[in-house]
Amino acid sequence: MLPTKTLHLPAFFLLLASSLPAAAAPVIDGADTAWVMTTTALVLFMTLPGLALFYGGLVRVRNVLSVLMQCFAICALASLLWVICGYSLAFSEGNAFIGGLDKLFFAGVGVSSVAGTIPEPVFALFQMTFAVITPALIIGGFAERFRFATLLVFTAAWLLLVYVPVTHWVWGGGWLGQLGLLDFAGGTVVHVTAGVAALVAAIVVGPRHGFQKTAMAPHNLTMTVSGAGMLWVGWFGFNGGSALAANGQAGMAMLVTHLSAAAGCLTWMAAEWIRFGKPSVLGIVTGMVAGLGTITPASGYVGPGGAIIIGILAGVVCFTATLWVERSLRIDDSLDVFPVHGVGGIIGTLLAGVFASTHLGPFSGQGFAAGIESIVAQVGIQALGVASVFVYTGVLTWIILKVLQATMGLRVAVENEQVGLDIFEHEERGYDL
């Protein structure tokens, strides 16, 4: 009789592991991929031509080309920087503050690499469009007076020193994401950073010549309304695409985005009507943008009832903030970037912690918070996220601008400002009829 063998425990587990099926490899979903590719195009459409036309119509006729030029240049510059190092620092594995260098020049981002259920190149491109529009929003804070050469250097420095780290904090595995901050599509990452940067820039650069002494009316509201319509449509990609899947969350994000925009524009219109006696075209489109920016961080977590409340608050609070910044603080945030995007991003980020609750009846969200205690705790996290991003963005933006002010100069001379940036910077005219 042959002697029996004893199967040692480690060997048993190795044998058991070898008999189990291998972990399933990530699978690309065709529907999700097609959806995110479509929304990527919509988000780029928000900058070019949407934001370019929206801002271009708001400035005076002698500066329209300068705004269009700035939007185009920022789009190109931010795209290349995103490929070179921005994406890697934002989304590759690093520490709580910043990502690593594993994906410089999109290393490893090939046709076979997967992010969730979509190809990683599609995810990286989708995030690139966010990196494009965020610094483009800032130019509204110093429109009609900023040097073009300085703008290019500022954009590069700000993108890498402010936008990229904050993106990693929230979406790339950084400390705010680990805390549980709810920011679905960029309340802190996009709107707070852009709004605060625009406010700091307006203060450091100083007001336009003749601010609050001469009329500085928009030169072409038809252009502005056209751009506003493009932003409204494009925002479906901005928020709906942030689900990164063709699913119910994406659909709900689109619904609440639309409702908040509608509530925001009508509320702003009503507030303006009550205060000034007449509703304006500029007011209704600005209210729309306020509603869109405010719902952005909450769009993946709230329901229709909460979205309408958020839009109404956006219209009232952002309208009031616009008057406060210009008339009380006397800050020339030329195109109201901070009152609309900064204040809207703050409101929306805080309210995401409220309306995500399932205990609010018809105003309930999608179950990311429950009960009063959970709401209070979540709002605390939201407030910490807002405060951290606000302070970090403000300090770094101030440092960047002060360095550029001492080396390159920030603004054109008064006589060149009066001639207009179209002629002085680019030797071209927006209209030659």
In a domain, 2, yes or no: no
CATH number of domain containing 236: 1.10.3430.10
Domain count, the chain: 1
**What pLDDT is stored for residue 23 in this prediction?**
52
Using pLDDT thresholds of 50, 70 and 90, give the confidence band for residue 8. Answer: very low
The owner of tokens 């709230």 is 302
Q: Where are the alpha helices (DSSP H) in 324-420?
A: 337, 343-355, 371-407, 414-419
pLDDT tens, 188-204?
999 999 999 999 999 99
Q: Are 90 and 171 in contact (CB under 8 A)?
A: yes
409 within domain boundaries: yes
Which residue, 303, 308, 310, is CA-closest to 361? 303
**Can you give the pLDDT at residue 368?**
66
- List the single range of 12-16, 37-41, 60-64, 343-347 with lowest mean pLDDT: 12-16
Structure confidence at residue 3 (pLDDT): 40
The candidate with the shortest Cα–Cα distance to 158, out of 201, 129, 126, 188, is 201
Assess if residue 1 is contained within a domain. Answer: no
Residue 10 lies in a domain: no
Residue-wise pLDDT for 200-241, tens only, equals: 999 999 999 999 999 999 999 999 999 999 999 999 999 999
User: How far is the first Cα of the chain from the last one, in angstroms, to the nearest whole number?
Assistant: 108
Mean pLDDT, residues 373-402: 96
Average pLDDT over the chain, rounded to an integer: 93
Residues 201 and 166: their CA atoms lie apart, in Å, by 19
pLDDT tens profile 358-377: 888 888 888 766 677 789 99
Confidence (pLDDT) at 433: 73
Asked if residue 179 belongs to a domain, the reply is yes
Inside any domain, residue 158: yes
What's the whole-number mean pLDDT along residues 97-110?
97
Write down the pLDDT at residue 175: 98
| Distance in angstroms (rounded) separating the CA atoms of residues 42 and 407 | 38
The predicted pLDDT at position 16 comes to 40
Q: Which residue has the tokens 């609750």?
A: 357
Cβ proximity of 369 and 356 under 8 Å? yes
How far, in whole angstroms, is CA 169 from its chain's centroid? 14
For residue 41, the enclosing domain spans 30-414
pLDDT of res. 369: 64
Q: 257 pLDDT exceeds 60?
A: yes
Backbone phi, psi, residue 369, to 5°: -155, 155
Is 253 within a domain?
yes
Residue 363 lies in a domain: yes
